[in-house]
Every structure is written in C-alpha cells, then in structure tokens.
Amino acid sequence: MDLKELLIYTFFGMVQGFTEPIPVSSSGHLVIVQYFMGIEVKDLNFEVLVNFASLLAVLLVYKNDLYELIKNTFAYLSTRKEEYKSDFMFSVYLVLATIPVAVLGILFEEMIGEHLKGIQQVGFALLATAVALYLIRNLKGYKGDKRLTVKDAVVVGFAQAVALIPGISRSGATIVACMALGMKQDTALRFSFFLYIPVSLGTFLLSIGDIAGSSNFSEMALPYAGAFIASLIFSYFSLKWFMGIMKRGNLGYFALYCLVAGLFIVFYF
C-alpha cells in the first residue's frame, strides 16, 4: 500500500466532503485542487464513494425529518387523511425534480466529462455561481412545504441538472432556484438536500457492481476507505455549519468567495 496515495485520496475526500453541502461546487474544487497539485484522479469509483459518504452525512443530519416524511407519505397512501397530504406531495415533488438530472445526466455525462472539466471552464462556472448567489442573498421567502407546486419542482429539478457542469454547485443551484421561487430558507434547505438523496443513491446503486468488480479494488481499498471516512466527517460538519449560515442569511459571503476564486482562475490561467 502506497502511503502517499492514501494521503492524497484522504485529502481529496476532505475537499469533496467540505465543499459538497456548501454552494461552491465540490466537483469544481476537486478539479482546482488536482490542477494545483499536478495530480489528475480519473477514478469514477472514488467520485461515487465520496458522494455516497456525503449522502450518509445528509441522512444523519436529516434523519428525523426524513423519518417523518416517509412515515407520513405512506400514511397518506393508506388513509388519504388531509393531515398527511403535504408530506405526500413533498415526496411527489422530489420525484418530479429528480427526473431532469437523471435524464440529462445519462444523455450528456460523457460530453461533460470530456469537454467541461478544464480549469478555465470551472472558473467561469464559479463566476456564474457567484452572480446567482448574490442575486438571492437577501431573499427570505414565503412558501413553506405546503405551498410548493409542480412548477417549483420542475424548475429546481432543471437547476440541479445545470449543476452537472463542474464549478456549478449542486446545492447552490438548487437553493438559488428554491429561494428565487419564494421558498422559505428551511424549506429550500430541506428540498435541496432531500433532492440530493435519490441522485446520489441511484448513482451508487448503479455503480456498486463496477466498484466491487474493479481490477484494482483490493489495492485501492485503503485509499478508498480514507477518502470515504474523510468525506463523511467533513460533509456532516460542513452541512451543519451551512444550515446555521442559511438561518443568518449570510449567502453573500459565498458569492464573494466564488467571485474571487472564479476571477483568479480565469485571469491567472
């Protein structure tokens, strides 16, 4: 086992984990870090595993909310009681919002991987993220869970699909869309991160056979484990930190960070 490889993968897991929940693009930051280190990790198994670790962090943070949502969704299906309807519709909207990224991801995954992972493209994508975050930085919202519509789900779903481009933050794109549609901050957060669950889970389940059957899986088991654990821990604390920031309405700081990082990349490289 190569100690250097273990440290590199663990570090990349830390970067992915910390940047996944916050609106600065984890995929973009991995491209940036790899560029500065002169290391290119073309390892889809790594990406799948660290994203699954971030998913587990989301599940841990939102475990009580998810339990209530699932329980009430099935309760509505069996009883049709009005008290459970809002949670049932919330689940329906999550399914609808997942469709765009699933379809567009299948259609354009190869093209994105080949043409949109350059350092310059990431810089421009960060600038776009900065503008979007700045525009919604002071919005408070008025829509709670019970006031969501099909239109809201579709718009947020396409926003998540845009985040297939490295440098466009998934959480940033979906939260910007949610806030622009008038959602309250807590509803925007829940919808955004609940929307991450089916995408990440689906990707993991589709890839688990490839991961287990990989020819170098045994020699990469420890680096993978290091990246997975790092991503899980950093995703958990980053998400908790970001939830506090959302409550205080400090998204302008992320807009400033993305602006500075994007300008540096665009003009320096």
What is the pLDDT at residue 79?
Answer: 95
Alpha carbon distance, N-terminus to C-terminus of the chain: 35
Query: In the chain, what is the greatest distance between 2 CA atoms, to the nearest angstrom?
Result: 61
Claim: this prediction has a pTM higher than 0.85: yes
Angstrom CA distances, 115 to 50, 110, 111, 120, 166, stand at: 23, 9, 6, 11, 10
Mean pLDDT of residues grouped by 10 in the chain (269 residues)? 87 96 92 88 83 96 97 96 95 96 82 72 93 91 93 96 88 95 94 94 84 74 94 98 89 94 90
Q: Is 169 left (phi over 0), alpha (psi -120 to 50) or beta?
A: beta
Rounded Cα distance between 54 and 73, Å, is 25
In this prediction, residue 124 carries a pLDDT of: 94
159 three-class SS: helix
The pLDDT of residue 115 is 63
CB atoms within 10 A of CB 13: 29
Half-sphere exposure of 70 (CA within 13 A, CB side): 8
User: How confident is the model at residue 228, as a pLDDT?
Assistant: 96
Report whether 14 contacts 50 (CB < 8 A).
no
161 neighbors 101 (Cβ within 8 angstroms): yes
- pLDDT at residue 1 in the model: 55
